């Protein structure tokens, strides 16, 4: 047994992100592999035979194993079998100067990631090692996503995401009602789930309700329940959302869509901590933590009479804003790789790598649909990808297929009454946003910083939307009484 031990730590090489175990009975090969991998920043553990490799792995599990096929004692195939018994997920690459199809098939059946025939060019070896490590990391990340580790999976390198994570940690274990604001597709429900998972209520139910989808006539019954005979068709007593998630967390998404009468009853429930089902004369104690969300600025709805001011102040005990994706472009590479990893697992395909030019294109796009749009795009890319690497052209093609095509003036299309719903929705939303911004500027005498606070968006987003809606031109603002000199 020879030179077993880590290298790279305390040397001229940087501290490694990955540990790699190299097992080879040829001391020259071991040194060459150690030097090559250490130059890439990896910590390398060396073993001269299969038994030594197993002992080293049990002491210090590696992120990847390079195994020589022919070694004294335990050969590469048997060492592979035993390492996989210790850790089925660890990637193992087989190295041999005597490759044959039968051995390669056996190694693959035992779980080998790759089968490399020596001699091999150093650059090629480094690429294969890097690909195996990235694939393993993405698989672990996707599995963690499915296991419900919401808070960890929200992490990203941007300062704005760091702020969101700190605020989640600050308020999660309280009973404060939380108002989450942010554009459509930014991940407000994911933040709500993270608040629930990190709270003392995590073992109790979490229920998400889309208030925009509740029919006005049934909203009260859906939320608070009803007694038998309370209205036509109420043939039995039914529990509402509050009763279903008692002791847990109720997430009211798009809360601004609730009617004013339902808002009044919701306010009473929050204040009194008890509710009265429709058609019942009794009230019952309830213990539910409320998290609300809106992509419309609630203060603006309050100013127009569409939302009760007292309810707004009650649900906004703590306000948490989720920034749009275009304001945190440094998170895009991490999110793109994560979504590709998820899609690859769903499709049962190898995990894809993304070339730098493709990542650059993703970073330059404006992402009107935010994180949801990026996830959908990566899934479309995964379906169309036929190789191991995602290229820029592939991303551009998938984006052109998933985006709503612009209408052509020379093309006869359907009348507005039967226009695509998505196009009508986007057009209506843009008009609502434009009017809201003009109203906020009018309310604040043209002070953009104050208008941004009223709209619950940051100043950069306000400028971007004003530019998109041609509101930076003072001529557009004058009809509201805002002169060029008064706009700051």
Domain residue spans of the chain: 6-146, 157-323, 326-402, 426-486
* Same fold yes or no, 6-146 and 157-323: yes
Q: Does 421 or 184 have the greater pLDDT score?
A: 184
pLDDT tens-digit map of 80-93: 888 888 788 889 99
Q: In this predicted structure, what is the pLDDT of residue 244?
A: 87
CATH of domain 326-402: 1.10.8.60
Read off the pLDDT of each residue in 214-223 and give the average, rounded to a whole number.
86
Name the fold adopted by 426-486: Arc Repressor Mutant, subunit A (1.10.10)
Class of CATH domain 6-146: alpha beta
Is 6's pLDDT higher than 50?
no
Is 251's pLDDT higher than 90?
yes
Q: Give the model's confidence band at 422: pLDDT under 50 very low, under 70 low, under 90 confident, else very high.
A: very low
Whole-number mean pLDDT of the chain? 80
Thinking of the domain 157-323, which architecture would CATH place it in?
Answer: 3-Layer(aba) Sandwich (3.40)
Read off the pLDDT of each residue in 27-41 and give the average, rounded to a whole number.
88
Q: Give the model's confidence band at 408: pLDDT under 50 very low, under 70 low, under 90 confident, else very high.
A: very low
Specify the pTM: 0.55
> How far is the CA of 230 from the CAs of 226, 263, 284, in angstroms?
6, 20, 17
């Amino acid at each position: 047994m020879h030179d077993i031990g880590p290298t790279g730590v305390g040397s001229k090489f940087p501290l490694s992100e990955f540990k790699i175990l190299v097992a080879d009975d040829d001391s020259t090969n071991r040194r060459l592999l150690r030097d090559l991998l250490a130059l890439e920043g990896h910590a390398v553990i060396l073993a001269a035979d299969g038994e030594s490799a197993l002992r080293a792995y049990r002491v210090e599990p590696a992120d990847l194993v390079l195994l020589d096929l022919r070694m004294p004692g335990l050969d590469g195939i048997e060492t592979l079998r035993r390492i996989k018994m210790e850790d089925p997920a660890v990637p193992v690459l087989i190295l041999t100067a005597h490759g044959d199809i039968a051995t390669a098939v056996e190694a693959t059946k035992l779980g080998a990631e790759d089968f490399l025939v020596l001699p091999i060019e150093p650059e090629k070896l480094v690429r294969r090692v890097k690909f195996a490590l990235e694939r393993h990391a993405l698989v672990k990340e996707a599995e963690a996503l499915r296991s419900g580790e919401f808070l960890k999976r929200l992490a990203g390198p941007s300062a704005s995401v760091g702020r969101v994570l700190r605020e989640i940690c600050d308020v999660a274990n309280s009973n404060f009602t939380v108002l989450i604001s942010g554009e459509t597709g930014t991940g407000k429900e994911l933040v709500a789930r993270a608040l629930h998972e990190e709270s003392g209520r995590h073992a109790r139910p979490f229920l998400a309700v889309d208030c925009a989808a509740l029919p006005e006539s049934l909203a009260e019954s859906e939320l608070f329940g009803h007694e038998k005979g309370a209205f036509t068709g109420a043939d039995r007593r039914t529990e509402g959302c509050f009763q279903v998630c008692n002791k847990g967390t109720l997430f009211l998404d798009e809360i601004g869509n609730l009617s004013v009468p339902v808002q009044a009853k919701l306010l009473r429930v929050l204040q009194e901590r008890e509710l009265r089902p429709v058609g019942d004369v009794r009230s019952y104690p309830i213990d539910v933590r409320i998290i609300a969300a809106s992509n419309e600025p609630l203060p603006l709805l309050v100013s127009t009479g569409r939302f009760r001011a007292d309810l707004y102040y009650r649900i906004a005990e703590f306000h948490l804003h989720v920034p749009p994706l275009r304001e945190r472009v440094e998170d895009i590479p991490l999110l793109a790789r994560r979504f590709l990893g998820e899609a690859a697992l769903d499709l049962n395909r190898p995990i894809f790598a993304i070339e730098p030019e493709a990542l650059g294109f993703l970073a330059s796009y404006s992402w009107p649909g935010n994180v949801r749009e990026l996830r959908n795009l990566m899934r479309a890319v995964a379906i169309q990808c036929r190789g191991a690497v995602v290229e820029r052209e592939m991303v551009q093609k998938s984006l052109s297929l998933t985006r709503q095509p612009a209408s052509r003036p020379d093309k006869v299309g359907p009348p507005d009454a039967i226009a695509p719903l998505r196009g009508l929705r986007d057009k209506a939303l843009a008009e609502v946003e434009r009017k809201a911004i003009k109203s906020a500027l009018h309310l604040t005498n043209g002070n953009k910083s104050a208008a941004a606070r009223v709209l619950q968006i940051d100043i950069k987003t306000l400028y971007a939307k004003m530019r998109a809606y041609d509101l930076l031109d003072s001529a557009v603002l004058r009809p509201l009484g805002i002169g060029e000199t008064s706009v700051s």
